[in-house]
Every structure is written in C-alpha cells, then in structure tokens.
Amino acid sequence: MAGEMPQGFVYLRDIDPSIQQDMRYAGSANFVGHAVPGYDAAECVLVSQAANGLKAVQAELKAKQLSLKVYDCYRPARAVASFVDWSKEPDDPKRKSIYYPALEKRALFPGYIATRSGHSRGGTVDLTLVPLDSSAPSEGNIQESTAACTAPRESRAPDNSLDMGTSFDCFDTKANTEAAGLSEDERKNRVLLVDVMSRHGFKNYDKEWWHFTLEGEPYPDTIFDFPINPRE
C-alpha cells in the first residue's frame, strides 16, 4: 500500500518528543552508505499503538535517568526492495569491514535482512538505551570510524548508546541478544532493554538486540509502502 500515511499511523515526535531519534536510513551512516528510498524525512513513524507503547517505556526509563533512542521504525516496502537490490551489487570493502566483517553479503538474507520486513507493518522498531539528556553523534563522526561493529566500544563508531556489545545494524552473531562472550555490563544493558520493552508489550528478535515488535500489532499481514515525509 503506497501513498499518503494511512489512518492509524503517527509520528513518534507527536506522541513523545523526548524519545531521541537517530534515523540512520534517512542519511548515509548505514550499511548501504546512502539515504534509502522512501526515507524522505528523518522521522520515526509507527502505528499509534506502538508509539504509545514506547511512550510508556520512556516514562519508566526517565526514572532511571535513561531514554530510548530509535534508529529505525516504519520501513517502506520500497526500502526493503532496495536492500535486496544492494545485495546483488559488488561489495564495498569498507562497509563490509564495518557492518558484516565475518559474513558474505549473500548470507545476510534472510537471516539478518528480511525480504519482507516486519518494519513495513508499522509495529516494529530498532532502538537502544541512552543516558537522559545525552546527544546522538553527528553523521560525519559516525562515518569517520572504520572499526568493525564488533570491536570494543572505544574503537567502533561513536554512539551515545549504553554499551550493548556491538553497534546498531551489526550483522554478526555477537548481535544476537543472548550472544556468548559479552562483558557483564554489555549483558546487563541488553537485559535491561529487553525487560523494559517486554513489560510494555514488545517482543525482541533474538538475532538483533535492538529489534522489537509490538505484540498484537494491528496490521500483522499488511505491508505498507507510503514514504516517510516531513511533519507538517
């Protein structure tokens, strides 16, 4: 379904402007290296039930001096198609060394990148925990890093996230939520994220510590393709 934003979808900023947004696919600080089709604004769009669920999570986190930060929310179907097209292009050695250092590009589908994404239903979100009142890094600062997403925190691309053991969009077994070999702090931060999200109705995808889907989402069988436009 393409066109204007359907009824029932909202901008997260209109529901809870205190939730940080670091929308990686609207720019070039991502595994494909450019803005992705359909991301015409760096805005998180979700079904209203998911947005209000995040608002409840945020209220709980503020008491701990923490905040949510979203990396990706609703994803137009055209963006998913562009990822499939990207998979057929020759490797960019720098992007490979950062985002999928231990895998061949063909191994990313469908285990890590779905050909039909739950994000396109509007109830799935990629996010992390950050200290309250911290600031997201600039796109330029992220792109200056050449370290693998699995490298120690001090080496990999800057992020104001609590240390989760990998960066966002790290296509590696270390990104599995219950991966072996994590430090105690990394493990505790992942458990905290999963626990607070689950209390408010979100289920984690076990291959990606950052990936959550609202249980009982309103459009479980519908794939949308409307573009993400600037808020009016």
pTM over 0.75: yes
Residue 165 CA to residue 175 CA, distance in Å, equals: 7
What single-letter DSSP state applies at residue 178? T
Q: What are 126's strand-pairing partners?
A: 72, 211
- Which one is catalytic: 43, 186, 208, 217? 208
| Residue range 108-137: mean pLDDT, rounded | 91
Whole-number pLDDT of residue 199: 98
Instruction: Give me the mean pLDDT over the 109-121 stretch.
Output: 85
Judge whether residue 43 has pLDDT over 70. Answer: yes
Percent of residues, the chain, with pLDDT higher than 70: 99
Long-range CB pairs of 175-178, under 8 A, 24+ apart, other chains included? 175/149, 175/207, 175/208, 175/209, 175/210, 176/206, 176/207, 176/208, 176/209, 177/204, 177/205, 177/206, 177/207, 177/208, 177/209, 178/206
**Known active-site residue 178:** no
Instruction: Provide the H-helix boundaries in the chain.
Output: 12-15, 48-62, 77-87, 93-99, 139-144, 184-199
Q: For 9-214, CATH number?
A: 3.30.1380.10
